[in-house]
Amino acid sequence: MTDMLRLTGVSKSFTLHNQGGVRLPVLAGAHLRVAAGECVALTGPSGAGKSTLMRLIYGNYLTDVGSIEVRHDGGWIDLAGADPRAVLAVRRRTLGYVSQFLRVVPRVATRDVVAEPRIALGEAPADARATAESLLARLNLPSALWDLPPATFSGGEQQRVNIARGFAHPYPVLLLDEPTASLDGANRRVVLDLIEEAKDRGAAIVGIFHDADARGAVCTREYEIAPLDRAA
Amino acid sequence: MSEARDPAYNFAYLDEQTKRMIRRALLKALAVPGCQIPFAGREMPMPYGWGTGGVQVTASVLKQDDVLKVIDQGADDTTNAVSIRKFFQRTAGVAVTETTAEASVIQTRHRIPETPLAEGQILVYQVPIPEPLRFLEPRETETRKMHALEDYGLMHVKLYEDIARHGHIATTYAYPVRVADRYVMDPSPTPKFDNPKMSDCPAIQLFGAGREKRIYAVPPYTKVESLDFEDHPFTVQAWDESCAFCGAQDSFLDELVTDDQGGRMFVCSDTDYCNRRREQGFRGSATEDAA
Amino acid sequence: MNAVQDDDAPLLAVEGLEKRYGRRVGCTQVDFRLWPGEVLGVVGESGSGKTTVLNCVAGRLAPDAGRVLYTDRTGAARDVHGVSEPERRMLMRTDWAFVHQNARDGLRMAVSAGANVGEPLMAVGARHYADIRAAAGDWLEKTEIELGRIDDPPTTFSGGMQQRLQIARALVAGPRLVFMDEPTGGLDVSVQARLLDLLRGLVTELGLAAVVVTHDLAVARLLSHRLLVMRQGRVVETGLTDQVLDDPQHPYTQLLVSSVLQP
């Protein structure tokens, strides 16, 4: 099985310059390999740094030390220290991220929010929207909502839009932060199916699952993050 | 017939150095057709708005053996034409005429003679506002740059607005033209009817604006085209009537109100042209006998 | 069409840009590059130098040091302040657009909306009235201005409409690079939201490159791919927009981000 994601010696701390320069170490020496078809669950107590690790992989946080390599366009690219344009290119084609909360852009219809990653890759808008619609239908989001911007939706509805957007394009590497939170049994089942399908097509997945059952259902492996002592 | 000139004045009123300065400006203007050239206009014995620019240009090009014609709105006998003609008779002692074909220098306000001009003739226009872009862009610094950089989009904005507002280009006089495919120029408040005469004209055309102190020129046989849109091409005015005196159907007609019951008649604005035609025997509806 | 091409030559390369006002530093040591399809946000508070940078880069203000290199449609690199003024004005007319904070600075208030949008086309040689009017109408629709207002002068428009008209006028001739100076400043919040959405959509749809100056971090997050954070004339931090706003490294950036009120 081919590795798709390689973290080596990744460390991250936050320095709050405006609070007397206090330094908060969060991760030290994280080491992780994820191969195609795997789904690795990040585990550990709340505040240990699971979301932080995910954001580091996505390039949303800057890595202090270490490398975060992603298999992209047939080669490897180290996102830690990569040019912003390179990170954007990786995010567009290779690395998908379903965050915990949907960041809502005002006035854009749900259907277009979901179709956007495919349109950005050059697909005809009509085709992209058709794919978006089938995903939204699968996630049991009523078609009456497809024309509306998601800002006024419930938490569960927003989460499903978020997931549809994350799965609209078949990313080779996927990061899922609490994908089943706020969902009822039926929709949770749909999301787990989506994850299984992604694994089957060879995607490498890193996920954070609060729900032990969901974790057990789709994850092949766990990666424990132990909280560091936060120095004052 | 030339009269003796008044010896109290230098020939044609202006001193020789001033004439040289104006001639330099005229040469520059001819070298760059349609481009406004600043000149150090002098105080003239008539106020601004009464043709001081045209008079200074005429004064600078006039020679003792020239024959001068002066017209105002096409007529030789209106007050301004008479005054300016007398001015040059007194200060230059040159021969004067009303016959276009006999004149070597013609000073005009707001019309181009109907009689086609010939090589060797000079037509001097009186210009109030030389800057065609002035009404849309009041800053001189900006309009100078626009001319220098051939940045003429604004000129078509004016025409666009006309069509949007009136359904057609509503400008009927001082209709902007492009000279030698380069400079956009205000032809002075001549009716757009006269614009075609400016193009490929055998005569030298000189323009003087006294108050604004600008000179520009169109050398002989230069392309002068009126601005328009492809789907709203430039057209000239046409009349249903013909001249009541000479019957001309191809000249610019003035409308004269003859009584207070709505009576009117149309006559050639170019008095010389009308007279020549009548000499040749042409008659209009109003006249009954030969001249 | 809107994918950022890798390994292309940058559209704009700014090197060592410096502008001083007497002894006061307007901006100094500013370096960045911009590729087609990218939006670069320049954020900072008043006096940070962000507007100075924008004006220098947009060719409106001559810098005291440094270069601004623009790659034109033929692929040639042009030194924006090294070329002659006619060439620079030609670039500004054909390849670039500038959206002012105050719409009145970017419009002809005495002339109809249609003429305002049509003028850039006429400035580059359009001579067919019906085509010009149709193109102006298209752009009024794109910027959500009622088509029936095409013959009205901008003096009769609301502030938000004037700004949208300015944007239509800026984009009608198909520029490759757009400079925006606080495009939503001074407008009501709801109007801002609508305008931002419009800008975002147009930039994506047209594959425009843009440099957007704003003091509003929310605007920066919504519109830009990358950010330049400026303070007292210097760039203190630069990077991906979401990274700079979510994981700010420089003390000043951290201060800026933490100061934003969350309603």
Higher pLDDT, B289 or B136: B136
Q: Residue B253's beta-bridge partner residues?
A: B268
A12 and A64 Cβ atoms separated by less than 8 Å: yes
The length of chain A in residues reads 232
Say yes or no: C115 and C83 in one domain.
Answer: no
| Per-residue pLDDT, B135 | 83
Q: Is 50 exceeded by the pLDDT of residue C128?
A: yes
| Per-residue pLDDT, C206 | 84
The mean pLDDT of C103-125, rounded to a whole number, is: 94
- Structure confidence by residue, pLDDT tens digits, B201-223: 999 999 999 999 999 999 999 99
| Per-residue pLDDT, C199 | 85
CA distance, residue C163 to nearest chain A CA (Å): 19
Say yes or no: C90 and C185 in one domain.
Answer: yes
Say yes or no: C164 and C180 in one domain.
Answer: no
- By mean pLDDT, which of A158-162, B1-5, B111-115 is the weakest? B1-5
The mean pLDDT of A40-59, rounded to a whole number, is: 92
Say yes or no: C138 and C254 in one domain.
Answer: no
Q: How much of chain A is helix, strand and coil, in % rounded to 5?
A: 40, 25, 35
- Structure confidence by residue, pLDDT tens digits, C89-113: 888 888 999 999 999 999 999 999 9
Select from C126, C141, C174 the last residue of a domain.
Answer: C174
Say yes or no: C222 and C258 in one domain.
Answer: yes
Query: Which chains form contacts with chain A, at 3 or more CB pairs under 8 Å?
Result: C
Residue C46's CB: how many other CB atoms inside 10 A? 7
| Per-residue pLDDT, A208 | 95
Angle of the A185-200 helix axis to the A155-168 helix axis, nearest 10: 10
Contact B164 C133 (CB under 8 A): yes
Tell which residue, C95, C96, C69, has the closest CA to residue C82.
C69
Question: For chain C, what is the domain count?
Answer: 2
C249 CB near a chain A CB, below 8 Å?
Answer: yes
The mean pLDDT of A71-89, rounded to a whole number, is: 93
Question: What pLDDT band is residue B170 in, cutting at 50, 70 and 90?
Answer: confident
- How far apart CA A111 and CA A126 sit, in angstroms, is 11
Q: Is 50 exceeded by the pLDDT of residue C2?
A: no
CA distance, residue B138 to nearest chain C CA (Å): 12
| Per-residue pLDDT, C189 | 79
Q: Is 90 exceeded by the pLDDT of residue A47?
A: no
Say yes or no: C84 and C114 in one domain.
Answer: no
- By mean pLDDT, which of A68-77, A90-99, B134-143, C113-122 is the weakest? B134-143
- Structure confidence by residue, pLDDT tens digits, B32-49: 999 999 999 999 999 999
Q: Is 90 exceeded by the pLDDT of residue C230?
A: yes
**Structure pTM?**
0.85
Tell which residue, B188, B42, B43, has the closest CA to residue B128.
B188
Say yes or no: C184 and C168 in one domain.
Answer: no
Contact B151 C110 (CB under 8 A): no
**HSE of A73, CA atoms in CB hemisphere, 13 A:** 10
- By mean pLDDT, which of A91-105, B42-56, C149-163 is the weakest? A91-105
Q: Is 50 exceeded by the pLDDT of residue C160?
A: yes
- How far apart CA B114 and CA B268 sit, in angstroms, is 9
C239 CB near a chain A CB, below 8 Å?
Answer: yes
Active site residues of B: 34, 243, 246, 268, 274
Q: What does residue B162 show for φ and ψ, rounded to 5 degrees? A: -60, -50
- Structure confidence by residue, pLDDT tens digits, B13-39: 999 999 999 999 999 999 999 999 999
Q: Is 90 exceeded by the pLDDT of residue B150?
A: no
Query: Which chains form contacts with chain C, at 3 or more CB pairs under 8 Å?
Result: A, B
- Structure confidence by residue, pLDDT tens digits, A143-187: 999 999 998 899 889 999 999 999 999 999 999 999 998 899 999
Domain that holds residue C163: 104-174
Say yes or no: C133 and C239 in one domain.
Answer: no
Tell which residue, B49, B200, B30, has the closest CA to residue B110.
B49
Residues C138, C139, C140, C143, CA torsion sign: positive
Average pLDDT over chain C, rounded to an integer:
90
Select from C125, C147, C174 the last residue of a domain.
Answer: C174
For the domain made up of A1-15+23-94+171-226, give the CATH fold: Rossmann fold (3.40.50)
ipTM value? 0.90
Instruction: Write the CATH number for C185.
Output: 3.40.50.300
Say yes or no: C78 and C181 in one domain.
Answer: yes
Say yes or no: C33 and C153 in one domain.
Answer: no
Mutate to test the interface with B, among C129, C151, C172 (most CBs of B within 10 A): C129
- Structure confidence by residue, pLDDT tens digits, B232-248: 999 998 999 999 999 99
Say yes or no: C163 and C182 in one domain.
Answer: no
| Per-residue pLDDT, A107 | 78
- Structure confidence by residue, pLDDT tens digits, A98-130: 988 777 777 789 999 999 999 989 899 999 999
Sequence ranges of the domains in chain A: 1-15+23-94+171-226, 104-169
Question: What pLDDT band is residue B2 in, cutting at 50, 70 and 90?
Answer: low
Q: Is 80 exceeded by the pLDDT of residue C24?
A: yes
What residues 190-229 of chain C have any CB closer than 8 A to a CB of chain A?
Answer: 193-194, 196-197, 200, 204, 222, 225-226
The mean pLDDT of C158-169, rounded to a whole number, is: 93
Contact B157 C111 (CB under 8 A): yes
What percent of chain C is modeled with pLDDT above 90? 71
The two three-digit tokens of residue A128, written as one number: 């992209």
Angle of the C159-171 helix axis to the C113-123 helix axis, nearest 10: 20
Select from C145, C174, C203 the last residue of a domain.
Answer: C174
- Structure confidence by residue, pLDDT tens digits, A191-206: 999 999 999 999 999 9
| Per-residue pLDDT, C1 | 32
Say yes or no: C117 and C137 in one domain.
Answer: yes
Average pLDDT over chain B, rounded to an integer:
93
